[in-house]
Homo-oligomer: A and B are copies of this chain.
C-alpha cells in the first residue's frame, strides 16, 4: 500500500504538484497550513509531508524554517525543485482590460510584480491564503477580478486563462523539502541542513563556526538567519553543507561547530536535488 503524503493544500497548488512528482503512487492528503502538515508527520497520521522551503524570487518560506527550528519529531528526508509558472485566471468571458482586482498569495503577487505594473497598473492587489484560495476569492468578488494561480487550478475551477507564464523571471523555481520521522541514509551525493544559535553576539561568532567547515573544505550551499524571537539582533542560523552527517569530515565539522554554539540541531541529511531525477525509491 502506498504511503500517505501530507502537502500544503488545497488541491491545485504548486505544493500538490511537487507532492505528485515526489510520490506519484502515494495517497496525497491536503492540509490547510504548513504547520498542520508537519504536525501530521510528528503525530504519525501521515508518513511524510511535502512543504515549500525556498523560492528563487521571494527567498525562504520563513514559516517552514521556524517549524524546522522548533520541532524535534521530524527531519528533512529529501528535497525537490519545481519550476513555477503563474497564470492569470478569470471567470469565462472576462477580458483582461475589465479586471479591477487581482487576488493571490502575497508571494505570487510579488513574483509577478513587473507583469502587474505593466499590464494591470490600476488594479487593486488583494492577498489570499494560497494561489488556489485566490480562485475562490475571485468568484466572490463584486467587481471583475482575476487570480494568479497555477494552470492546473483553471481546469479544476472552470476558469479562463487570460495570460500564461506571467512571473517576472522565467527561471522562477521553488525548492520543497520532504519531512519524515527520520532523515535519509547516505547516498554519496548528499547535503546536511543544521541550525544553531549563540548566547550572545551571534553574527560575530558565526565566522568561527563557518571556519569549521572551511578548514575541512566542506562547501556551504546556503546560510540563512531567523530571529530567536527573544530580542531584536539575536539570530538562529540555518546552514546547508555538502555531505552526509555520517561522513567523518562532516561529523568533525559539526562537532567543532557544536563546541562554539549554545544550541545546535541537525535538521537532516538527504540526497541533493538533481534536475530530471526520480527521487523516490521504486
Contacts and interface: CB of A to CB of B under 8 A. Distances in A.
Interface of A: 54-59, 62-63, 81, 106, 110, 125-129, 168-169, 171, 173, 175, 201, 203-204, 206-207, 210-211, 214, 219-227, 229-233, 235, 239-240
Contacts of A231: 56, 171, 173
A120 to B, nearest CB: 15
B55 A168 contact: no
A211 B203 contact: no
Contacts of A220: 203-204, 206-207
Given A201-B219, A210-B210, A224-B225, 12 more contacts: A55-B227, A56-B230, A58-B227, A59-B62, A81-B232, A171-B231, A173-B231, A203-B219, A203-B221, A204-B214, A207-B210, A222-B233
Nearest to A241: B203
Does more than half of chain A's interface fall in helix, strand or loop, or is it mixed?
A: mixed
Contacts of A168: 229
Q: How many monomers of this protein are in the complex? A: 2
Nearest to A210: B207
Contact of A110 (B63, B128, B214, B240): B63
A103 to B, nearest CB: 10
A229 B129 contact: no
A56 B171 contact: no
B63 A230 contact: no
A169 B229 contact: yes
A39 B219 CA distance: 39
A223 B223 CA distance: 9
Contacts of A169: 229-230
A203 B223 contact: yes
A57 B227 contact: yes
Contacts of A239: 203
Contacts of A232: 54, 56, 81, 173, 175
B207 A219 contact: no
A197 to B, nearest CB: 13
A87 to B, nearest CB: 20
A192 B277 CA distance: 44
A229 B127 contact: no
A142 B229 CA distance: 35
A232 B129 CA distance: 24
Given A59-B62, A62-B59, A171 B223 contact: no
Among A203, A220, A239, A240, the most chain B Cβ lie within 10 Å of the Cβ of A203
25 contacts: A56-B227, A56-B229, A56-B230, A56-B231, A56-B232, A59-B225, A59-B227, A106-B106, A106-B127, A125-B129, A127-B128, A169-B230, A175-B232, A203-B219, A203-B221, A204-B220, A206-B210, A206-B220, A206-B223, A207-B207, A207-B214, A210-B210, A222-B225, A222-B233, A225-B225
